[in-house]
Protein backbone atom coordinates (compact mmCIF):
# COMPACT_ATOMS: atom_id res chain seq x y z
CA UNK A 1 0.00 0.00 0.00
CA UNK A 2 1.69 3.19 -1.19
CA UNK A 3 -0.27 5.68 0.91
CA UNK A 4 -1.23 4.37 4.32
CA UNK A 5 -2.53 7.61 5.87
CA UNK A 6 -4.81 8.67 3.01
CA UNK A 7 -6.06 5.13 2.44
CA UNK A 8 -6.77 4.73 6.13
CA UNK A 9 -8.73 8.01 6.20
CA UNK A 10 -10.90 7.43 3.12
CA UNK A 11 -10.81 3.64 2.86
CA UNK A 12 -12.24 2.11 -0.31
CA UNK A 13 -13.59 5.50 -1.40
CA UNK A 14 -10.08 6.78 -2.08
CA UNK A 15 -8.40 6.54 -5.46
CA UNK A 16 -6.06 3.64 -6.14
CA UNK A 17 -2.47 4.80 -6.73
CA UNK A 18 0.31 2.58 -8.11
CA UNK A 19 3.92 3.22 -9.05
CA UNK A 20 4.88 0.85 -11.84
CA UNK A 21 8.52 0.45 -12.90
CA UNK A 22 9.50 -1.02 -16.25
CA UNK A 23 12.61 -2.43 -14.52
CA UNK A 24 13.53 -2.14 -10.86
CA UNK A 25 17.17 -3.09 -11.55
CA UNK A 26 19.35 -1.32 -14.11
CA UNK A 27 23.02 -0.93 -15.03
CA UNK A 28 24.90 2.37 -14.85
CA UNK A 29 24.13 4.37 -17.99
CA UNK A 30 20.51 3.22 -18.10
CA UNK A 31 17.40 4.96 -16.75
CA UNK A 32 14.70 4.08 -14.25
CA UNK A 33 11.44 4.51 -16.15
CA UNK A 34 7.85 3.85 -15.22
CA UNK A 35 4.40 5.24 -14.60
CA UNK A 36 2.40 6.70 -11.74
CA UNK A 37 -1.14 5.40 -12.24
CA UNK A 38 -4.14 6.95 -10.47
CA UNK A 39 -7.54 5.28 -10.72
CA UNK A 40 -10.65 7.01 -9.39
CA UNK A 41 -12.43 5.65 -6.33
CA UNK A 42 -16.03 5.98 -5.19
CA UNK A 43 -16.07 9.79 -5.25
CA UNK A 44 -14.07 12.52 -6.94
CA UNK A 45 -10.90 13.94 -5.38
CA UNK A 46 -8.82 16.98 -6.17
CA UNK A 47 -5.11 16.26 -6.48
CA UNK A 48 -3.35 19.51 -5.73
CA UNK A 49 0.29 18.43 -5.99
CA UNK A 50 2.35 15.31 -6.77
CA UNK A 51 6.13 14.93 -6.42
CA UNK A 52 8.11 11.82 -7.34
CA UNK A 53 11.54 11.84 -5.70
CA UNK A 54 14.56 9.75 -6.62
CA UNK A 55 16.75 9.46 -3.51
CA UNK A 56 19.74 7.54 -2.22
CA UNK A 57 20.14 6.45 1.39
CA UNK A 58 23.69 5.79 2.56
CA UNK A 59 25.63 5.60 5.78
CA UNK A 60 28.48 7.91 6.81
CA UNK A 61 30.03 7.43 10.24
CA UNK A 62 27.20 4.99 11.06
CA UNK A 63 24.54 7.64 10.43
CA UNK A 64 21.99 7.44 7.64
CA UNK A 65 22.21 10.28 5.13
CA UNK A 66 19.37 10.87 2.66
CA UNK A 67 20.56 12.41 -0.61
CA UNK A 68 17.83 13.80 -2.91
CA UNK A 69 18.95 13.16 -6.49
CA UNK A 70 16.11 14.28 -8.74
CA UNK A 71 12.44 15.26 -8.50
CA UNK A 72 9.57 15.12 -10.97
CA UNK A 73 6.88 17.68 -10.12
CA UNK A 74 3.20 17.62 -11.08
CA UNK A 75 1.94 20.87 -9.62
CA UNK A 76 -1.04 21.49 -11.92
CA UNK A 77 -4.14 20.61 -9.84
CA UNK A 78 -6.60 18.13 -11.37
CA UNK A 79 -9.72 16.23 -10.35
CA UNK A 80 -9.91 12.46 -10.62
CA UNK A 81 -13.47 11.27 -11.22
CA UNK A 82 -14.82 7.85 -10.19
CA UNK A 83 -13.96 5.07 -12.66
CA UNK A 84 -11.40 7.24 -14.49
CA UNK A 85 -7.66 6.83 -14.80
CA UNK A 86 -4.67 9.13 -15.18
CA UNK A 87 -1.17 7.96 -16.09
CA UNK A 88 1.98 10.03 -15.50
CA UNK A 89 5.20 8.67 -17.08
CA UNK A 90 8.54 9.38 -15.39
CA UNK A 91 12.22 8.72 -16.02
CA UNK A 92 15.31 9.16 -13.86
CA UNK A 93 18.85 8.59 -15.13
CA UNK A 94 21.62 8.21 -12.51
CA UNK A 95 24.81 10.12 -13.28
CA UNK A 96 27.95 8.32 -14.44
CA UNK A 97 29.39 8.83 -10.94
CA UNK A 98 26.43 7.36 -9.09
CA UNK A 99 27.21 4.96 -6.28
CA UNK A 100 26.11 1.37 -6.73
CA UNK A 101 23.53 -0.48 -4.70
CA UNK A 102 24.71 -2.56 -1.76
CA UNK A 103 23.69 -3.28 1.82
CA UNK A 104 24.70 0.22 2.95
CA UNK A 105 23.55 2.04 -0.22
CA UNK A 106 19.86 2.03 -1.09
CA UNK A 107 18.33 3.66 -4.17
CA UNK A 108 14.60 4.27 -4.03
CA UNK A 109 11.63 6.31 -5.23
CA UNK A 110 9.08 7.99 -2.97
CA UNK A 111 5.88 9.80 -3.96
CA UNK A 112 4.46 12.83 -2.12
CA UNK A 113 0.79 13.76 -2.54
CA UNK A 114 -1.42 16.66 -1.54
CA UNK A 115 -5.04 15.65 -2.00
CA UNK A 116 -8.02 17.76 -0.87
CA UNK A 117 -5.82 19.57 1.62
CA UNK A 118 -4.29 16.38 3.04
CA UNK A 119 -0.64 15.41 2.56
CA UNK A 120 1.01 12.00 2.62
CA UNK A 121 4.20 10.31 1.46
CA UNK A 122 4.41 6.81 0.04
CA UNK A 123 6.43 3.89 1.23
CA UNK A 124 9.88 3.58 -0.38
CA UNK A 125 9.88 1.82 -3.73
CA UNK A 126 13.30 0.16 -3.85
CA UNK A 127 15.39 0.10 -7.01
CA UNK A 128 18.88 -1.27 -7.67
CA UNK A 129 21.80 0.19 -9.61
CA UNK A 130 24.38 -2.34 -10.84
CA UNK A 131 27.90 -1.87 -12.31
CA UNK A 132 28.30 -1.03 -15.98
CA UNK A 133 29.95 -3.50 -18.33
CA UNK A 134 33.58 -2.46 -17.77
CA UNK A 135 33.36 -2.39 -13.99
CA UNK A 136 31.47 -5.68 -14.03
CA UNK A 137 34.30 -7.19 -16.11
CA UNK A 138 36.87 -6.03 -13.56
CA UNK A 139 34.88 -7.51 -10.65
CA UNK A 140 34.43 -10.77 -12.58
CA UNK A 141 38.18 -10.95 -13.19
CA UNK A 142 38.85 -10.50 -9.47
CA UNK A 143 36.38 -13.24 -8.67
CA UNK A 144 38.10 -15.45 -11.24
CA UNK A 145 41.35 -15.00 -9.30
CA UNK A 146 39.66 -16.25 -6.14
CA UNK A 147 38.61 -12.96 -4.52
CA UNK A 148 35.15 -12.43 -3.05
CA UNK A 149 33.49 -9.12 -2.27
CA UNK A 150 33.05 -8.44 1.43
CA UNK A 151 29.77 -7.56 3.08
CA UNK A 152 31.18 -4.17 4.14
CA UNK A 153 32.16 -3.30 0.57
CA UNK A 154 30.85 -0.33 -1.45
CA UNK A 155 30.78 2.09 1.45
CA UNK A 156 30.61 5.72 0.37
CA UNK A 157 33.10 7.97 2.14
CA UNK A 158 32.13 11.37 0.75
CA UNK A 159 34.07 11.13 -2.50
CA UNK A 160 33.76 7.64 -3.91
CA UNK A 161 32.63 4.16 -3.13
CA UNK A 162 35.28 1.88 -1.70
CA UNK A 163 35.22 -1.73 -2.89
CA UNK A 164 36.63 -4.45 -0.62
CA UNK A 165 37.59 -7.99 -1.57
CA UNK A 166 39.26 -10.80 0.33
CA UNK A 167 41.17 -13.77 -1.15
CA UNK A 168 39.77 -17.25 -0.78
CA UNK A 169 42.13 -19.15 -3.09
CA UNK A 170 45.24 -17.33 -4.32
CA UNK A 171 47.27 -14.95 -2.13
CA UNK A 172 45.56 -16.06 1.10
CA UNK A 173 48.91 -16.31 2.90
CA UNK A 174 50.08 -12.79 2.00
CA UNK A 175 46.99 -10.62 1.38
CA UNK A 176 44.36 -9.94 4.03
CA UNK A 177 42.15 -7.87 1.73
CA UNK A 178 42.26 -5.43 -1.16
CA UNK A 179 40.44 -2.09 -1.24
CA UNK A 180 39.74 0.04 -4.27
CA UNK A 181 38.21 3.30 -5.38
CA UNK A 182 37.35 3.32 -9.07
CA UNK A 183 36.71 6.09 -11.59
CA UNK A 184 35.46 5.25 -15.07
CA UNK A 185 35.79 7.38 -18.17
CA UNK A 186 35.72 6.96 -21.94
CA UNK A 187 39.20 5.44 -21.95
CA UNK A 188 38.56 2.75 -19.34
CA UNK A 189 39.05 2.51 -15.58
CA UNK A 190 41.31 4.40 -13.16
CA UNK A 191 41.76 2.41 -9.97
CA UNK A 192 43.45 3.30 -6.71
CA UNK A 193 44.26 -0.17 -5.41
CA UNK A 194 45.24 -0.79 -1.80
CA UNK A 195 46.44 -4.21 -0.66
CA UNK A 196 46.56 -5.00 3.05
CA UNK A 197 49.50 -7.41 3.36
CA UNK A 198 50.49 -9.66 6.20
CA UNK A 199 53.94 -8.51 7.34
CA UNK A 200 55.26 -10.46 10.33
CA UNK A 201 53.30 -9.25 13.39
CA UNK A 202 51.81 -6.22 11.66
CA UNK A 203 49.90 -5.38 8.53
CA UNK A 204 51.13 -3.19 5.69
CA UNK A 205 48.93 -1.12 3.40
CA UNK A 206 50.41 -0.89 -0.08
CA UNK A 207 48.88 1.36 -2.71
CA UNK A 208 49.09 1.64 -6.48
CA UNK A 209 47.21 3.49 -9.18
CA UNK A 210 46.25 1.21 -12.06
CA UNK A 211 44.99 2.41 -15.44
CA UNK A 212 43.10 -0.17 -17.48
CA UNK A 213 42.16 0.74 -21.05
CA UNK A 214 39.10 -0.53 -22.86
CA UNK A 215 40.98 -3.15 -24.86
CA UNK A 216 42.14 -4.99 -21.75
CA UNK A 217 38.67 -4.74 -20.24
CA UNK A 218 37.33 -6.55 -23.29
CA UNK A 219 39.69 -9.50 -22.74
CA UNK A 220 39.10 -11.47 -19.55
CA UNK A 221 42.42 -13.32 -19.82
CA UNK A 222 44.42 -10.07 -20.23
CA UNK A 223 42.48 -8.44 -17.41
CA UNK A 224 43.12 -11.29 -14.98
CA UNK A 225 46.81 -11.32 -15.87
CA UNK A 226 47.11 -7.56 -15.35
CA UNK A 227 45.49 -7.80 -11.91
CA UNK A 228 47.64 -10.79 -10.95
CA UNK A 229 50.85 -9.00 -12.02
CA UNK A 230 49.83 -5.83 -10.15
CA UNK A 231 49.24 -7.75 -6.93
CA UNK A 232 52.49 -9.70 -7.30
CA UNK A 233 54.40 -6.43 -7.84
CA UNK A 234 52.83 -4.91 -4.72
CA UNK A 235 53.86 -7.95 -2.69
CA UNK A 236 57.40 -7.91 -4.09
CA UNK A 237 57.89 -4.12 -3.73
CA UNK A 238 55.73 -2.95 -0.84
CA UNK A 239 57.82 0.18 -0.18
CA UNK A 240 57.16 1.78 -3.55
CA UNK A 241 54.06 3.89 -3.87
CA UNK A 242 52.40 6.32 -6.26
CA UNK A 243 52.82 10.02 -5.52
CA UNK A 244 50.04 11.63 -7.51
CA UNK A 245 46.80 13.26 -6.42
CA UNK A 246 45.37 9.96 -5.27
CA UNK A 247 48.06 9.82 -2.60
CA UNK A 248 46.22 12.63 -0.83
CA UNK A 249 42.80 11.21 -1.47
CA UNK A 250 42.07 9.70 1.96
CA UNK A 251 43.36 12.76 3.82
CA UNK A 252 41.06 15.07 1.93
CA UNK A 253 38.07 12.78 2.22
CA UNK A 254 38.07 13.16 6.01
CA UNK A 255 37.46 16.87 5.62
CA UNK A 256 34.62 16.36 3.15
CA UNK A 257 32.81 13.35 4.52
CA UNK A 258 30.47 15.43 6.67
CA UNK A 259 29.45 17.82 3.88
CA UNK A 260 26.12 16.28 2.98
CA UNK A 261 25.25 19.11 0.61
CA UNK A 262 28.45 18.54 -1.32
CA UNK A 263 27.74 14.83 -1.48
CA UNK A 264 24.34 15.52 -2.97
CA UNK A 265 25.85 17.89 -5.52
CA UNK A 266 28.38 15.25 -6.55
CA UNK A 267 25.71 12.55 -6.88
CA UNK A 268 23.67 14.88 -9.07
CA UNK A 269 26.68 15.39 -11.34
CA UNK A 270 27.01 19.10 -10.54
CA UNK A 271 30.50 18.90 -9.08
CA UNK A 272 33.36 16.89 -10.56
CA UNK A 273 35.78 14.85 -8.48
CA UNK A 274 38.71 16.87 -9.84
CA UNK A 275 37.01 20.13 -8.83
CA UNK A 276 36.47 18.81 -5.32
CA UNK A 277 40.10 17.81 -4.97
CA UNK A 278 41.25 21.20 -6.26
CA UNK A 279 38.97 23.04 -3.85
CA UNK A 280 40.12 20.98 -0.89
CA UNK A 281 43.79 21.44 -1.78
CA UNK A 282 43.33 25.20 -2.00
CA UNK A 283 41.95 25.22 1.54
CA UNK A 284 45.02 23.36 2.82
CA UNK A 285 47.64 25.56 1.12
CA UNK A 286 48.57 27.32 4.40
CA UNK A 287 48.88 24.15 6.46
CA UNK A 288 52.02 22.13 7.13
CA UNK A 289 50.88 19.08 5.21
CA UNK A 290 53.93 17.68 3.38
CA UNK A 291 53.54 17.97 -0.36
CA UNK A 292 55.36 15.05 -1.99
CA UNK A 293 55.22 15.37 -5.73
CA UNK A 294 56.64 13.16 -8.44
CA UNK A 295 60.05 14.47 -9.50
CA UNK A 296 60.92 16.03 -6.14
CA UNK A 297 64.70 15.37 -6.30
CA UNK A 298 65.47 16.18 -2.66
CA UNK A 299 62.74 13.90 -1.40
CA UNK A 300 63.89 11.15 -3.75
CA UNK A 301 67.45 11.44 -2.40
CA UNK A 302 66.18 11.00 1.16
CA UNK A 303 64.22 7.92 0.17
CA UNK A 304 67.17 6.45 -1.71
CA UNK A 305 69.43 6.59 1.37
CA UNK A 306 66.92 5.02 3.74
CA UNK A 307 67.14 1.47 4.91
CA UNK A 308 64.04 -0.64 4.42
CA UNK A 309 63.08 -0.56 8.08
CA UNK A 310 63.55 3.24 8.20
CA UNK A 311 61.39 3.68 5.13
CA UNK A 312 58.81 1.35 6.58
CA UNK A 313 58.67 3.36 9.80
CA UNK A 314 58.34 6.66 7.92
CA UNK A 315 55.65 5.30 5.67
CA UNK A 316 53.67 3.83 8.57
CA UNK A 317 54.09 6.56 11.17
CA UNK A 318 53.93 9.65 8.97
CA UNK A 319 51.98 8.91 5.82
CA UNK A 320 49.54 6.27 7.00
CA UNK A 321 48.78 7.87 10.37
CA UNK A 322 48.49 11.42 9.01
CA UNK A 323 46.84 10.79 5.67
CA UNK A 324 44.87 7.60 5.98
CA UNK A 325 41.90 7.08 8.21
CA UNK A 326 42.28 4.15 10.58
CA UNK A 327 39.89 1.31 9.80
CA UNK A 328 39.69 -1.80 11.96
CA UNK A 329 36.94 -3.53 9.97
Structure confidence by residue, pLDDT tens digits, 99-147: 899 888 899 999 999 988 888 888 899 999 998 888 999 999 999 999 9
Neighbours of 142 (CB within 10 A): 21
Under 8 Å CB-to-CB from 25, ≥6 apart: which residues?
127, 128, 129, 130
Q: Where are the domains of the chain?
A: 4-130, 133-323
Task: Give the tens place of pLDDT for each residue, 277-310.
Answer: 455 455 544 444 343 343 344 443 444 444 444 5
Name the more confident of 86 and 288.
86
Q: Would you state the pLDDT for residue 7?
A: 61
- Average pLDDT in the 184-212 region? 82
Residue 51 clears pLDDT 80, i.e. is over it: yes
Residue 157 clears pLDDT 60, i.e. is over it: yes
Residue 169 clears pLDDT 70, i.e. is over it: yes
Nearest-angstrom CA–CA distance, 21 and 90: 9
Host H or E run for residue 246: none
Q: Would you state the pLDDT for residue 21?
A: 93
Residue 318 clears pLDDT 80, i.e. is over it: no
CA dist 61 → 21, 65, 97, 127 (Å): 32, 10, 21, 24
Residue 165 pLDDT grade (very low, low, confident, very high; cuts 50, 70, 90): very high
**Lowest mean pLDDT segment, chosen from 164-178, 180-194, 311-325:** 311-325
Contact assessment for residue 178 and residue 147, using Cβ atoms and an 8 Å cutoff: yes
Contact assessment for residue 145 and residue 170, using Cβ atoms and an 8 Å cutoff: yes
Q: Would you state the pLDDT for residue 63?
A: 81
Task: Give the tens place of pLDDT for each residue, 216-255.
Answer: 898 999 999 999 999 999 888 887 655 444 443 443 333 3
Name the more confident of 295 and 313.
313
Does the pTM surpass 0.85? The reply is no
Residue 84 pLDDT grade (very low, low, confident, very high; cuts 50, 70, 90): very high
Residue 154 clears pLDDT 90, i.e. is over it: no
Q: Would you tell me which CATH number, out of the four given (3.40.50.150, 3.90.660.10, 3.30.360.10, 2.60.40.640), belongs to the domain 4-130?
A: 2.60.40.640
- Average pLDDT in the 22-30 region? 92
Residue 50 clears pLDDT 90, i.e. is over it: yes
Nearest-angstrom CA–CA distance, 245 and 271: 17
Closest CA to 10 of 37, 51, 40: 40
Residue 12 clears pLDDT 70, i.e. is over it: no
Amino acid sequence: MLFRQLSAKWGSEFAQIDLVLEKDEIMMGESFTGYLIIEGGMIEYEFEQIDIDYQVSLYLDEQEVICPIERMEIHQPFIIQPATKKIFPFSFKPTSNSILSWESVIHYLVVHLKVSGKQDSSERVLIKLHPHYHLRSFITALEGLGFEERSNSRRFDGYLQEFRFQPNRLFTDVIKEIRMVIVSDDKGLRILLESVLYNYLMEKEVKREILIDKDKLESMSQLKELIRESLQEMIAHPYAFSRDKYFYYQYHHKRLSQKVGAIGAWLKGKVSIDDWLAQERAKEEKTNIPKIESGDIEVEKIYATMKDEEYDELFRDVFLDDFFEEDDD
